[in-house]
Amino acid sequence: MLSDFPLLSALIWLPILGGGALLWLGEERPDAARVTALLTSLITFLISLPLFTGFERGTAAMQFVELRPWIESFNVNYHLGIDGISMPLILLTTFITVLVVIAGWDVIKTRVSQYFAAFLIMEGLMNGVFAALDAMLFYVFWEAMLIPMFIIIGVWGGPRRVYATVKFFLYTFFGSVFMLVSLIYLYMQTGSYEILDFQSQSLGLQPQIWIFLAFLFAFAVKVPMWPVHTWLPDAHVEAPTGGSVILAAIMLKMGGYGFLRFSLPITPDASRELDWLIIAASLIAVVYIGLVALVQQDMKKLIAYSSIAHMGFVTLGFFIVFAVYARTGALEGAALGMQGGMVQMLSHGLISGALFLCVGVLYDRMHSRRIDDYGGVANTMPKFAAFMVLFALANAGLPGTSGFVGEFLVILGSFQANPWFAFLAATTLVLGAAYTLWLVKRVLYGEVANEDVAALDDLNRREFLMLGILAFFVVLLGVWPAPLLDVMGPTLDQLLQQISISKLVP
């Protein structure tokens, strides 16, 4: 009976309807709005748990499938389903949204209903992106997501919010339209918009390369990869805390998800031909952006650049598979990089979200993000300092935290591809440690810098709760990643099988 319940649809539409209800409620009763938002996000999180418990391990087939015609004239279906790649990302989305609602609880004072409505609508759309198995449906969710984010940054953001949000919107919109043309081209070839049909469609090398580049542009902007990353620091810095968290924790993951769902399986030959492009850009991101992060004066900017560097690991992990396969002839080694990339995505979702929440905690008290304005915070906020140190170390890849697992797997995989890749990638262990620990040192330790810092209050119960939950999962994933790897395993194996077979028309 339970299996007939359209769980994925509920995960998409419940938050959207909740958001609509909040808009209807208006701005007169902010407390009612807060409670409605929290309840909606909690219920959504709870009904997303059966995805994990009811997930059939050991198969790469799509599960929880819903299929009904949507736009018959274009042969577009409302087709939802999840596999080992998308299921963890949906759980991450529903989980992070609850935290975002808690984080905005009494910080947001203006237009409360609209604020929470935007986040709830975002949540539904993001679940839709991860659950869609029809390319047009995917694209609709993918693009629609820009609207609430545009509003979130623009209305509740910092002083340069208008510049940042317009840049964010146009950048990502520009990236995706090429994907749209590719999807339509693929539709002309296969006669349907099913992503699984796209994956089994054979294509010549030339079209594959064009399609690959179009996808690359869309996903690279979203990840973001060097050199199309410049929107991210602006957007992050100007966005309200909740917006930064959603951006870093989930929206960036969509680029990585896109590579796994579209680029690699649909255009495997072009991916093989052009893997050097991605590997080079990823390594530049890891090294160069790591250096850039080192010199930032603004805490949010520093974490934003650190995000770009960490996402470089993800793309590196996904695209070294060809080099590994060419060198060793075995798929097992290649799987390491891919698993590492996936774990890294989830772990970064938790850690970067946590770090942005930490900055938010400080910003709410001091209204400054400049590192120079702080110093000795640990003296007045010991509980907060403990959390921040934990997340900073996780960000630097400390063993025992989730940050370590992903980075280690990717470095291990890239060693099999080319020791130099591994060497360059491993510099992040130095650079990442340098910029995060230096940040911690300047903000948390030393003498109390000024009167404002001396007057700080430590975490209240709400903040303690949200950071505590995150800390729990960061450590859990670090010491016991096995459940996650079990879930992803079959799907990634099947993906590797798919991309090891050429699709070229004989």
Partner 1 sequence: MEFQIPVLAPAAAEITLLALTCLVLLVDAFVSQARRDITYALTLVTLVCTAWVAAFMTGNGTQITFAGHFVNDPMARVLKLVVLATAGMVFLYSRDYLERENIYRGEFFVLALFATLGMMVMISAHSLLTVYLGLELLSLSLYALVAFNRDSGNSAEAAMKYFVLGAIASGCLLYGMSILYGAAGTLDLATLSARVADGETLSDLWVLVGLAFMLVGIAFKFGAVPFHMWLPDVYQGTPTPVTLFVGTAPKIAAFAMAIRLLVDGLGSVGDAWQSMLLVLAVASMALGNIVAIAQTNIKRMLAYSTISHVGFILMGILAGTDAGYQAAMYYTIAYVIMATAAFGMVILLSRRGFEADNLDDFKGLNRRSPWFAGMMLIVMFSMAGVPPFLGFYAKIAVIAAAVEANLTWLAVLAVVLSVIGAFYYLRIVKLMYFDDPGDEPAVEGPSVLKLALSFNGLLILALGLFPNGLIAVCQHVFG
Residues that bind partner 1 (CB under 8 A): 23, 26-27, 70-74, 111, 114, 136, 139-140, 143-144, 146-147, 150-151, 154-155, 161-162, 165-166, 169-170, 173-174, 177-178, 180-181, 184-185, 187-188
Cβ-Cβ contacts under 8 Å for 460 (sequence gap 6 or more): none
Burial 205-214 (b: 16+ CB within 10 A, else e): bebbbbbbbb
Three-state DSSP state, 204: coil
DSSP 501: S
CB of 204 vs partner 1, minimal distance in Å:
14
Token pair listed for 483: 């459940």
Contact in structure between 126 and 257 (CB atoms under 8 Å):
no
Cβ-Cβ contacts under 8 Å for 85 (sequence gap 6 or more): 257, 260, 261, 342, 488, 491, 492, 495
The overall longest dimension of the chain from CA atoms, in Å, is 74
Q: Are strands 76-82 and 63-71 parallel, antiparallel or unpaired?
A: antiparallel
CB of 170 or CB of 280, closer to partner 1? 170
CB of 211 or CB of 422, closer to partner 1? 211
Cβ-Cβ contacts under 8 Å for 164 (sequence gap 6 or more): 153, 157, 158, 231, 234, 235, 237, 238, 239
Which helix (H) or strand (E) element contains residue 281?
A: helix 275-284
CB of 170 vs partner 1, minimal distance in Å:
6
Dihedral over alpha carbons 29, 32, 36, 42 (to 10 degrees): 130
The C-alpha atoms of residue 75 and residue 163 are separated, in whole angstroms, by 39
Contact in structure between 464 and 383 (CB atoms under 8 Å):
yes
Which DSSP string do the residues of 347-370 spell out, in sequence order? HHHHHHHHHHHHHHHHHHHHS--B
CB of 8 or CB of 186, closer to partner 1? 186
CB of 63 or CB of 176, closer to partner 1? 176
CB of 49 vs partner 1, minimal distance in Å:
28
DSSP 198: H
The C-alpha atoms of residue 203 and residue 185 are separated, in whole angstroms, by 11
Contact in structure between 33 and 116 (CB atoms under 8 Å):
yes
CB of 13 or CB of 438, closer to partner 1? 13
